[in-house]
């Protein structure tokens, strides 16, 4: 009799543990993807769609405006493509040429922008998909002891500067930074996702480093991100686009 009770207790415990594990597994479900944010291959399209931003570069106080320049130029890291894979493709990178008038903690800001209704360039933060785990950028260095970081804006209006690395190397290198867990990207209320926006890339010069005739190139800005979306009855009403469609159009009963 005691053995039967013991077996029954063990059976109940096992069932409870399995159900708890299943529930926990549902809570931590994920779909990790790599998404290219900008490949710098075209000034007019991106991932087959019309591009609605470009890049603007500005320097700090002692920038030499007569030297500062940036453009899309032909090229690619050999690690990304073999010559055979690149053949017939129109592959480009973003190149920046710069100089400062004096040493110090100078900086370049590389900012996504668009034209407003009056034709003026205004900042155009890039919304990053999913729950972002890391940000990656291919950067061509030329041996300058400069530091590079990406700046993101969370949904609560707080800016975060994430250090990608140092440019004291030669040639192409993939630089990456993890997005810290303290940066909010989700909440328990619907819609649960809190978007994260990339606002700029910043290059800082070291105080004792040379600051003239500087060149740097970028390729494949991408993120590793969790794009899992929980499904439930009525989940379409939690979609941000659907929310915007419902509450910015149609007839209101209050009027």
Q: What is the pLDDT of residue 229?
A: 66
* The Cα angle at residue 72 between residues 125 and 69, in degrees rounded to 5: 85
pTM: 0.80
Greatest CA separation for the chain: 93
Instruction: Tokens 């592959």: give the residue.
Output: 91
Q: What is the pLDDT of residue 255?
A: 66
Q: What is the pLDDT of residue 17?
A: 45
Kind plus residue range of the DSSP H or E element containing 5: helix 2-27
Selection from 48, 96, 46, 99 nearest residue 73 by Cα: 96
Instruction: Tokens 């931590």: give the residue.
Output: 28
What stretches in the chain show pLDDT beneath 50? 8, 11-27
Q: What is the pLDDT of residue 188?
A: 72
Both tokens assigned to 239: 């979609």
Q: What is the pLDDT of residue 12?
A: 44
Kind plus residue range of the DSSP H or E element containing 144: none
Q: What is the pLDDT of residue 235?
A: 67
pLDDT in tens, 192-207: 678 899 999 999 999 9
Burial class (CB in 10 A: 0-12, 13-18, 19+), 188: exposed
SS (H, E, C) 184-234: CCECCCCCCECCEEEEEEEEEECCCCCCCCEEEEEEEEEEEEECCCCCCCC
Domain ranges of the chain: 38-229
**38-229: in CATH 2.60.120.260:** yes
């Amino acid at each position: 009799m005691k053995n039967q009770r013991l077996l029954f207790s063990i059976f109940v415990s096992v069932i409870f543990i399995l159900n708890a594990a299943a529930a926990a597994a549902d809570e931590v479900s994920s779909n990790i993807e790599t998404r290219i944010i900008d490949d710098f291959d075209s000034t007019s399209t991106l991932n087959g769609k019309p591009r609605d931003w470009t890049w603007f570069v500005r320097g700090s106080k002692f920038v030499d405006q007569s030297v500062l320049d940036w453009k899309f130029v032909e090229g690619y890291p050999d690690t990304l493509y073999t010559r055979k894979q690149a053949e017939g493709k129109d592959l480009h990178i973003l190149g920046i040429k710069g100089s400062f008038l004096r040493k110090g903690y100078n900086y370049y800001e590389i900012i996504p922008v668009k034209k407003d209704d009056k034709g003026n360039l205004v900042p155009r933060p890039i919304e990053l998909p999913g729950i972002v785990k890391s940000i990656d950028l291919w950067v061509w260095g030329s041996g300058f002891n400069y530091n590079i970081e990406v700046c993101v804006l969370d949904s609560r209006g707080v800016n975060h500067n994430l250090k990608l690395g140092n440019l004291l190397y030669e040639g192409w290198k993939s630089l990456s930074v993890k997005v810290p867990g303290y940066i909010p990207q989700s909440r328990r209320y619907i819609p649960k996702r809190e978007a994260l926006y990339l606002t700029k890339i910043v290059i800082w010069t070291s105080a004792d480093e040379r600051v003239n005739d500087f060149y740097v190139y970028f390729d494949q800005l991408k993120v590793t991100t969790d794009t899992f979306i929980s499904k439930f009855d009525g989940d379409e009403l939690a979609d941000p686009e659907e929310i915007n469609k419902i509450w910015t159009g149609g007839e209101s009963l209050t009027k």
